[in-house]
Structure 1
Amino acid sequence: MSERAVLEVIALDAEDAIAARAGGADRLELVTDMAADGLTPPVPVFTAIRAAVDIPLRVMVRLADGFAAGDVDRLVRVARELRAAGAEEFVLGFLDTAGQADLDAVERVVAELAGCRWTFHRAIDHATDRDAVRKQLADLPGLDTYLTAGSPAGVDAGLPTLLTEASRTSDQQLLVGGGLRLDHVPTLRKAGVTAFHIGGAARPGGWSRPVAAEAVRQWREVLDER
């Protein structure tokens, strides 16, 4: 447990970003519209956040709720616009109707990222075969992280899967998020998980209220316990 854990916090705007950074976040996931579980933020929001904080930002590339890619041409344009605005890290993940990775959509978007690092998000929790998805994506450039709860129902249900996957050697980091609570952390850290993702847990007032630096700091302190 000597490796310092990564704490990633969802940010909707510069105010969130500043508070998350002050609380000890290592990285931010930038989204808009949490009612749709997080969509691509407008470019001006990205640029405002980039100007406000100096920590890494992973920007969501997703245009609609669910895990279907939808308009892939538009996704490609969005990725191109974000790159042109200076985005260097991304989050994406699309499934086909059979519940496997939509390789055409993923490959077309990743081609626009020019080797930038990216996370395959919780689409993996909704896939029909998690290991098959990993094999499908294994050779794509830039993929360094899977955001997962281990189950569509969240970390409580997915804990056995997460503990199994944490014990495997992988080129990609396991970033645990989705119903994650502080009481899950000791078990996950003991199993070797080194990256954690929070959204609502950073907002004691709910999604209508901003990130609270104190809430993020509480997570930072628990993650840093030895």
Structure 2
Amino acid sequence: MSKRALLEVIALDARDAIAARAGGADRLELVTDMAADGLTPSRETFAAIRDAVDIPLRVMLRLSDGFAAGDARGVEALAEAARGLRAEGADEFVLGFLTDTDEADLYAVEALAAELSGCRWTFHRAIDRAADRDALRKQLADLPGLDTYLTAGSAAGVEDGLTTLLAEAARSGEPGYEQRILVGGGLGLAHVPALRAGGIDAFHIGGASRPDGWAGPVSAGAVRQWRLALDG
């Protein structure tokens, strides 16, 4: 089996972060407003979580539901949010934007990559809505800091995307495929053996860490169940 898998857990606040860390999370994705599928948290929330745990934090850059960055003013608002978070000490981020024809929004993504100089970042599940995944990967291949794709392999979730995920993992190292695959979106424990066997070593959970749903907190026990499954 490959190296120890990375387990990333969505955290909304410091209580979530502490529970996720106790359960064995390696990294957190920080968001707010899961009703809009995860938006940029406040600087105050980031600071509280930063002070509560000692593991890496990737902060969402997304100001509205969907995968559109908006016009130049929208992109500037995202850049301003990034500057504020960096001033608080954030150094890892999550972002991903598409045009209205479901191609990579290079204007927005390149502008933010420049704003995040020196930071590592994930291109999130916008890839699962892209008209052409391969073309998107090749367009973004050389952007500084991009080290991960958060993907289910399909907009419908991992169950539908499993074949795509395994095929992309098999291309690891090819141009456009150097970035790590972080699997998330309808991910279940039953998917783990096939993904691990296919060489995938990074997993992202949100609702799976919350027995009471998004209205309730992260459960350290639920995270621990995933940690044990990944450690096999």
- TM-score bracket, normalised by the shorter chain, equals over 0.9
Q: Which residue of 2 aligns with 1:137?
A: 140
Q: Which residue of 2 aligns with 1:191?
A: 198
Runs (4+) off by over 6 Å: none
2:107 to 91, 99, 104: 104
Give the aligned residue type for 1:90: F
The correspondence of residues 70-149 of structure 1 with structure 2, limited to 5 A, is: 70=70, 71-149=74-152
SS in 1 for 2:8: strand
Q: Which residue of 2 aligns with 1:213?
A: 220
Give the aligned residue type for 1:195: A
- TM-score norm. by structure 2 comes to 0.96
Q: Which residue of 1 aligns with 2:164?
A: 161
Matches of 1:72 and 1:201, distance apart in 2: 32
Q: C-alpha deviations, 1:140-160, integer Å up to 9, x for none?
A: 000000000000000001011
Give the aligned residue type for 1:126: R
Q: Is the 8 A contact 2:8 2:26 kept in 1?
A: yes
Matches of 1:2 and 1:125, distance apart in 2: 25
Matches of 2:171 and 2:222, distance apart in 1: 31
Q: Structure 1 stretches of 5 or more lacking a match?
A: none
How many residue pairs get matched? 225
Deviation, 1:97, is: 1.2
Matches of 2:146 and 2:68, distance apart in 1: 19
2:226 matches 1:223: no
Give the aligned residue type for 1:64: S
Matches of 1:136 and 1:153, distance apart in 2: 24
SS in 2 for 1:183: helix
Q: Which residue of 1 aligns with 2:13?
A: 13
- TM-score norm. by structure 1 comes to 0.99
Q: Which residue of 2 aligns with 1:175?
A: 182
SS in 1 for 2:108: helix
SS in 1 for 2:147: strand
Deviation, 1:175, is: 0.2
